[in-house]
């Protein structure tokens, strides 16, 4: 009797195909945008400045109000952007930002990041951006100054601040780069700012960005009663 043919080998179990959406990043994307601030941003700017004062241990010097910020930063007859006080707002969102009109005085800067873990923002509702679903993560305030040695204008950065949960993720670099890029495009000679001597993380960050920390210079300031004395001379 002929031997029976061996049974066929078992068919492999089909594995369902998984198709990632085109250009869909693996991980947790975060979209960032830098844009010019408007008067509607004042409440968030005020909260950011207060958080900065807490971080710098200078709350005893903090007296700004929303009204005073609105009156001084957003005058009824404002100067063109970059010719007076200018504020860049840093927004973040889990969704891409829509393009803006090409005729805007400053084209917002956008960048996407991808992180292994999502960013937990316990204050996301407190810092909700006006008019969209984005969250305000930081700001930079700067204005023109002048170098007689260079015979060129420049920018002085009064404040640059990123909220704690968004630090060390490249967003501070994005803000500082935006100011430096604007200065270079306008043919300005330099960008300057100050840093607290105990803030070693900030000093290291600025040096990595190419900035020189000028140890031989000191800040001189007239303010408060010492300044008001001159109103009566």
Q: Is 156 a catalytic residue?
A: no
Q: Write out the chain in H/E/C secondary structure.
A: CCCCCCCCCCCCCCCCCCCCCCCCCCCEEEEEEEEECCHHHHHHHHHHHHHHHHHCCCHHHCCCCHHHHHHHHCCCCCCCCCCCCEEEEEEEECCCCCCCCCCCCCCCEEEEEEECCCCCCCCCCCCECCCCCCEEEEEEEEEEEEECCCCEEEEEEEEEEECHHHCCCCHHHHHHHHHHHHHHHCCCCCEECCCCCCCHHHHHHHHHCCCCCCCCCCCCCCCHHHHHHHHHC
Active-site pick, 156, 166, 188, 206: 206
Residue numbers annotated as active site: 206
């Amino acid at each position: 009797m002929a031997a029976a043919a061996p049974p066929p080998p078992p068919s492999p179990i089909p594995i369902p195909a998984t198709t990632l959406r085109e250009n869909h990043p693996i991980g947790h994307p975060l979209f960032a945008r830098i844009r010019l601030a408007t008067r509607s941003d004042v409440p968030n700017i005020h909260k950011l400045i207060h958080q900065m004062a807490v971080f710098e241990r200078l709350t005893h010097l903090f007296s700004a109000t929303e009204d005073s910020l609105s009156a001084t930063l957003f005058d009824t007859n404002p100067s063109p952007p970059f010719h007076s006080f200018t504020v860049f707002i840093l927004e973040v969102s889990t969704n891409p930002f829509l393009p803006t009109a090409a005729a805007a005085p400053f084209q917002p800067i956008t960048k996407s990041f991808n992180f292994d873990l999502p960013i937990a923002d316990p204050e996301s509702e407190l810092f909700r951006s006006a008019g969209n679903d984005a969250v305000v993560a930081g700001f930079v305030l700067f204005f023109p100054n002048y170098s007689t040695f260079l015979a060129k204008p420049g920018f002085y950065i009064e404040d640059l601040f990123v909220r704690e949960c968004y630090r060390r993720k490249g967003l501070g670099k994005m803000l500082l780069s935006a100011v430096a890029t604007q200065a270079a495009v306008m043919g300005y000679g330099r960008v300057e700012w100050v840093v607290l001597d105990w803030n070693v993380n900030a000093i290291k960050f600025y040096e990595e960005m190419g900035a020189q920390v000028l140890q031989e210079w000191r800040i001189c300031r007239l303010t408060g009663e010492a300044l008001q004395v001159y109103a009566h001379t």
